Structure 1
Amino acid sequence: MVRDERRRQLLQAAQEVFVASGYQGANMDDIAQAAYVSKPVLYAYFPSKRELYLELLDINLTALGDVLQESVRSTKLNKERVHDAIRAYFGYIARDDGAYRLAFESGLSNDPDVLARREAFRRGFAGVAARIIREDAQLPLVEAEFLGRALMGLAQASARYWVENTAEQGSAALSLDAASELVYRLAWRGISRFPKET
């Protein structure tokens, strides 16, 4: 197997193990077994479980960031940007691979490298939201950045709540479209109420 293909195989297996077991419950034996390789092969690519986790964290946060960036680039209308970004966030959270768990839930929540990566993602997402808010509501930058963080928190908390309850409620749960639409309407009605300065 070509080195890049092997690396992708190991990352895929590791993601499945981390999502299923969490960081603390996962071990390199399980990851090697899931990838159908020996531990020495796994260690040849990744010197530790932590390094493997950090690479997966980077991959998943970058993927989510790319999805969100694309959603706001698809239109010039801020109302649609907010709608599309919230829908994209919910779509990412709803993925079958559980990637959001790896990105936002782990036993490494106090690890400085994990915290820094998550904060960089939050800062980026909040920055995109702040630009939309500032442009539409004509607010000072500090206020727009604060509201960008609030919007990011709203999307993150509601999407995680939705995906966890969807698993419990089954067919009685809100659809992805219905849930993201409700959050969008709440967010946009709030943002659009800010008076524009003249």
Structure 2
Amino acid sequence: MTEAIPMRPRTSRLPRTARRAQLLEVALEVFVEQGYHSASMDEIAERAGVSKPVLYQHFPGKLDLYLALLETSCDTVIDGVKGALASTHDNRRRVQATMELWYDYVADQGAAFRLVFESDLTSDPAVREQVDRVIEESAALVAEVIRDDTGLPLAAAHLLAVSLVGMGHVGARNWLSQDSSLSRSEAVQLVAGLAWRGIGGFPRNEDDAEPNTNAQGDE
């Protein structure tokens, strides 16, 4: 039997933005622990140390609260991908930084990651839209870099980008769920190496060149 998590004491009045952030933090705990369907607004309010009317002032219903939390989590991932791609002009390091982003997010923000990619409410169109947005916007950012550097058509660059994003987030989820004996750094190095050996084989800025699928990139 799991230990009950102590409720937060009733809190003093906070600025609206600070209160909203606090409520989202508490809601994340409850949704990840219990899933959307089992979570209740009563418990979220109690854990946050506020009255239900205060909670409803910020979020009219449970779905509104869940979607706000989901949107914040998705924005965190997308902003992380932007930061990783902008951190260097060296493409090999970009691959490394992007893979580090996924593994760092899983390890450091595991609860939020599960909310995005392991939601029990993906049948809801608004939830599905947010989850799909993470993949699509992340892939669009990566595709732009691939297209600029290789001259590949947009459709080809997008397919490669989606594949790289999938390699990152699916691999990271598996690494976490399997409680792997590999450290985070070891896992990132393996996956980044695999990704670079693939994407590094495409010629740069040669509009008429065929992709060299045998190239391995730098060791």
TM-score by length of 2: 0.82
Match status 1:184 vs 2:181: no
User: Which region of structure 1 is more displaced relative to structure 2, 153-162 or 25-34?
Assistant: 25-34
Q: Highest relative contact order (Cα 8 Å, sep 6+), 1 or 2?
A: 1
> Which of 109, 113, 119 lines up with 1:100 in the alignment?
113
> Residue in 2 aligned with 1:194?
202
Whole-angstrom CA distance in 2 between matches of 1:30 and 1:57: 19
Query: 1:45 offset after TM fit, Å?
Result: 1.4
Query: 1:96 offset after TM fit, Å?
Result: 4.9
Q: Percent identity?
A: 42
How far does the alpha carbon of each residue in 1:143-190 deviate from its partner, in whole angstroms, 9 at most, with x for none? 110111111111111000011122xx5xxx211111111111111101
Give the residue type in structure 2 aligned to 1:123: E
> Residue in 1 aligned with 2:30?
17
> Residue in 1 aligned with 2:104?
91
Query: 1:39 offset after TM fit, Å?
Result: 1.8
Give the residue type in structure 2 aligned to 1:108: L
Higher helix share: 1
Query: 1:40 offset after TM fit, Å?
Result: 2.1
Contact map agreement 2:147 2:153 (CA 8 A) in 1: yes
Query: 1:131 offset after TM fit, Å?
Result: 2.1
Q: Secondary structure at the match of 2:30?
A: helix
Q: Secondary structure at the match of 1:53?
A: helix
Whole-angstrom CA distance in 1 between matches of 2:80 and 2:157: 22
How far does the alpha carbon of each residue in 1:45-75 deviate from its partner, in whole angstroms, 9 at most, with x for none? 1111100000001111111111111111110
Q: Secondary structure at the match of 2:178?
A: helix
> Residue in 1 aligned with 2:132?
119
Query: 1:133 offset after TM fit, Å?
Result: 2.4
> Residue in 1 aligned with 2:216?
none
> Residue in 2 aligned with 1:48?
61
Contact map agreement 1:130 1:147 (CA 8 A) in 2: yes
Contact map agreement 1:16 1:97 (CA 8 A) in 2: no
Residues 75/102 of structure 1: CA separation in 2 closer, same or farther (3 Å cut): same
Unpaired runs of 5+ residues, structure 2, are 1-12, 210-219
| CA RMSD between the two structures | 1.6
> Which of 133, 144, 152 lines up with 2:146 in the alignment?
133
- The count of aligned residue pairs is 193
Query: 1:15 offset after TM fit, Å?
Result: 0.8
Larger radius of gyration: 2
Whole-angstrom CA distance in 1 between matches of 2:143 and 2:170: 18
Q: Which runs of 4+ in 1 moved over 6 A?
A: none
Whole-angstrom CA distance in 2 between matches of 1:80 and 1:146: 21
Match status 1:36 vs 2:49: yes
Q: Secondary structure at the match of 1:157?
A: helix
Residues 58/183 of structure 1: CA separation in 2 closer, same or farther (3 Å cut): same
> Which of 84, 87, 90 lines up with 1:74 in the alignment?
87
> Which of 144, 147, 163 lines up with 2:176 in the alignment?
163
